[in-house]
Structure 1
């Protein structure tokens, strides 16, 4: 989130080493910035990426230091850097940095809910009579995604509904796994978007437990909203 290009000059290879196609975005300034708009956006993007990763199925792969916002000064090939470029700032971690605390909350949420750690691929097949499927893809207005929606080039929003009552797996004792259900509201546009929560068939009410716009929000303090309500 801090660099568009690699900055491997300290390696002594004329910046020719390391991968050049990093698909990164510096949020408006290359390297360290004192522009509040840039730094605020960078911190939000860090939380967006961590939340997307840790609330996805499969084994999450995090490079050590990501939870601290470590940038390595834009160097993506630190094999020759046994110094501040590659070191971890442990003092920052001990001071309970906002990003570290947010990451800890995400890992706790993932550990507490088997819904995010399913051992089988999720399908959109019906979970039973009058029950929503194990996963459903909805538009920001709460209606199911259709073929035209998937093809819409300008689409930047989606609701991913994960059904905690449709996990076809058993625990170590052979008991059926049942969990809470979660609608994940994802907005990749640069503007705030109003979402309409799924109707009562998916759940009567919902509570906000993670909000990348509010990293200090305690799960117990999240707003409780009813099915069909609108939120941002």
Structure 2
């Protein structure tokens, strides 16, 4: 079970071909908080929120299709407030597109 999934803007997991593409300047990193492969001092599984970190190193905005089932079927994605210049304020539905500005990153939390 993966705790990290590399996310393509088209709404799918990155492939080997994607990693080798010279034209791809954006990607996401899906961090599943319910899949952390570690335990606390009492031996209990460590749980956290699920986050999606989006990166755009390109010169143009990129629309990312947000994860659904692979992210644990969240009801919505919420942009973390620190990234107000990267994405418009608000919540985004899974499967919906989120436009990330050029040369920006953003962090969204699954709700």
Q: Please state which band the TM-score falls in when normalised by the shorter chain.
A: 0.7 to 0.9
Deviation at 1:191, TM superposition (A): 1.6
Greater RCO between the two (CA within 8 Å, min separation 6)? 2
5+ residue gaps in structure 1? 1-126, 128-132
Partner of 1:226: 93
Q: Does 1:150 align with 2:19?
A: yes
Q: Distance in 1 between matches of 2:57 and 2:84?
A: 12
Deviation at 1:170, TM superposition (A): 1.4
Q: Does 1:181 align with 2:50?
A: yes
Is the Cα contact below 8 Å between 1:142 and 1:159 reproduced in 2? no
Is the Cα contact below 8 Å between 1:136 and 1:162 reproduced in 2? yes
Deviation at 1:212, TM superposition (A): 6.0
5+ residue gaps in structure 2? 100-111
Is the Cα contact below 8 Å between 1:140 and 1:157 reproduced in 2? yes
Q: Deviations over 1:187-218 (max 9, x none)?
A: 0012211111112331322111142626xx9x
Greater strand share, structure number: 2
Is the Cα contact below 8 Å between 2:66 and 2:95 reproduced in 1? yes
Is the Cα contact below 8 Å between 2:5 and 2:29 reproduced in 1? yes
Larger Rg: 1
Q: 1:212 to 1:191 in 2, by over 3 A?
A: farther
- SS of alignment partner, residue 83 of structure 2: coil
Q: Distance in 1 between matches of 2:31 and 2:15?
A: 18
Report the TM-score, using the length of structure 1 for normalisation. Answer: 0.38
Partner of 2:35: 166
Partner of 2:79: 208
Q: Deviations over 1:107-143 (max 9, x none)?
A: xxxxxxxxxxxxxxxxxxxx2xxxxx21111210111
Greater helix share, structure number: 1
Partner of 1:41: none
Q: Distance in 1 between matches of 2:17 and 2:67?
A: 20
Report the TM-score, using the length of structure 2 for normalisation. Answer: 0.75
When the two chains are superposed, the root-mean-square deviation of aligned CA atoms in Å is: 1.9
Q: Deviations over 1:36-73 (max 9, x none)?
A: xxxxxxxxxxxxxxxxxxxxxxxxxxxxxxxxxxxxxx
